[in-house]
């Protein structure tokens, strides 16, 4: 197992990516610089493994926490994955249908939804991602690792959290959606599993993020860095606030902590 000087975890949307959901040249150079300095860059994202591999294909990144800790890879090896039981999916589906919300199902490589609506369209437009295929049987034929619930009615979020309090965790990650994972799973749990697998518990750890689902990531590392475009609540949980993701914030934060020197 290779020894590293430090580990740096990056969220994607609103952090490592630009407005077009691509890694800008400046951040690509930063990733290469970290590798040169024997510092391991990792992704910690709500996106799927397939999306992460596509986004990072021109970089040396080979370790990631995906689907908010549901599917985790260390140096190209799958080290943990957590499927959501079908009966639990169908119970949640019944509640979403009663409340008029659509639901998408994520595997390692693809995703589908029961039906599309305007709220769903807004989310995938925001993420610059393709709309899911429409299928009423997809969730019955595949291992599902994460669910995506489409709702702009944030006042109803509590209804879901109360109904599934001991079984599912709901992360409000945009005005249009909540990511849904098994209770006990999160970016925090995924990071801990990857660090343990790599036997790097003694190595300094850093994390960059901007969203509510990054708070678990902040808990899992020694130094939490919030982007300037993060909410005030996320910023309040960070050790340092860097510049915006469109203002070279990743470079600024790494430079501040001497990781590029």
The Cα–Cα gap between 161 and 198 comes to 33
- Write the CATH number for 193: 3.40.50.1000
Q: Report residue 89 as tokens.
A: 């999916």
153 and 24 belong to one structural domain:
no
Taking the C-alpha atoms of residue 258 and residue 23, their distance in angstroms, rounded to an integer, is 22
Does any domain span residue 261? Answer: no
**Residues 181, 146: contact at Cβ < 8 Å?**
yes
- pLDDT per position as a tens digit, 83-131: 999 999 999 999 999 999 999 999 999 999 988 999 999 999 988 889 9
Q: Which of 182, 201, 233 is the last residue of a domain?
A: 182
Domain span including residue 54: 6-81+185-256
**For residues 200-228, average pLDDT:** 96
Tell me, what's the pLDDT at 7?
Answer: 98
**Contacts by 63-67, CB closer than 8 A, 24 or more apart:** 63/194, 63/198, 65/9, 65/187, 65/190, 65/191, 65/194, 65/217, 66/190, 67/106, 67/145, 67/146, 67/179, 67/181
Whole-number pLDDT of residue 261: 87
Q: Catalytic residues, which ones? A: 11
Starting at the edge strand that comes first in sequence, how are the strands of the sheet with 39-44 ordered?
A: 77-81, 71-74, 64-66, 39-44, 6-10, 205-209, 223-226, 240-241
Whether 207 maps to a domain, the answer reads yes
The yes-or-no verdict on residue 1 having pLDDT over 80 is no
Q: Which residue has the tokens 């689907």?
A: 67
Q: What is the pTM of this model?
A: 0.88
Co-location of 97 and 224 in the same domain = no
Total domains, the chain: 2
Do residues 187 and 234 touch, judged by C-beta distance below 8 A?
no
- Domain end position, chosen among 154, 182, 210: 182
Here the CATH number for the domain that contains residue 162 is 3.30.1240.10
Q: In this structure, what is the dihedral angle of CA atoms 65, 187, 19, 76, given to the nearest 10 degrees?
A: -10
Name the one residue in this structure whose structure tokens are 């039981």: 85
Please write the tens of the pLDDT for every residue from 158-190. 999 999 999 999 999 899 999 999 998 999 999
Instruction: State whether 167 and 111 are in the same domain.
Output: yes
pLDDT greater than 80 at residue 53: yes
pLDDT recorded at residue 256: 97
- Contact (CB, 8 A) for 194 and 63: yes
Please check whether residue 41 is in contact with residue 5, taking contact to mean a CB–CB distance below 8 angstroms: no
Cβ atoms within 10 Å, residue 117: 13
Within 10 angstroms of residue 93's Cβ, the number of other Cβ atoms is: 18
Torsion sign over Cα 219, 59, 77, 70: positive
């Amino acid at each position: 197992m290779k020894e590293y000087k430090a580990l740096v975890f990056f969220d994607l949307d609103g952090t490592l990516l630009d407005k077009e959901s691509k890694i800008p040249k400046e951040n690509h150079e930063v990733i290469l610089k970290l590798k040169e300095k024997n510092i391991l860059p990792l992704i910690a994202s709500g996106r799927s493994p397939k999306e992460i591999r596509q986004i990072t294909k021109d970089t040396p990144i080979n370790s990631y926490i995906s689907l908010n800790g549901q599917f985790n890879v260390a140096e190209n090896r799958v080290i943990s994955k957590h499927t959501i039981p079908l009966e639990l999916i169908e119970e949640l589906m019944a509640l979403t249908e009663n409340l008029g919300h659509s639901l998408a199902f994520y595997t390692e490589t693809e995703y589908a939804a029961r039906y599309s609506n305007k709220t769903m369209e807004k989310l995938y437009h925001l993420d610059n991602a393709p709309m899911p295929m429409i299928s009423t049987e997809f969730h019955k034929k595949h291992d599902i690792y994460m669910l995506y619930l489409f709702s702009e009615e944030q006042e109803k979020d509590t209804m879901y959290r109360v109904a599934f309090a001991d079984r599912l965790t709901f992360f409000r990650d945009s005005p249009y959606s909540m990511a849904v994972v098994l209770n006990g799973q999160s970016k925090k749990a995924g990071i801990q599993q990857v660090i343990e697998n790599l036997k790097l518990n003694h190595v300094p750890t850093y994390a960059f993020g901007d969203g509510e689902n990054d708070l678990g990531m902040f808990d899992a590392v020694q130094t939490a860095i919030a982007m300037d475009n993060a909410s005030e609540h996320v910023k309040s949980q960070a050790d340092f606030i860097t510049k915006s993701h469109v203002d070279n914030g990743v470079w600024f934060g790494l430079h501040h902590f001497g990781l590029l020197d």
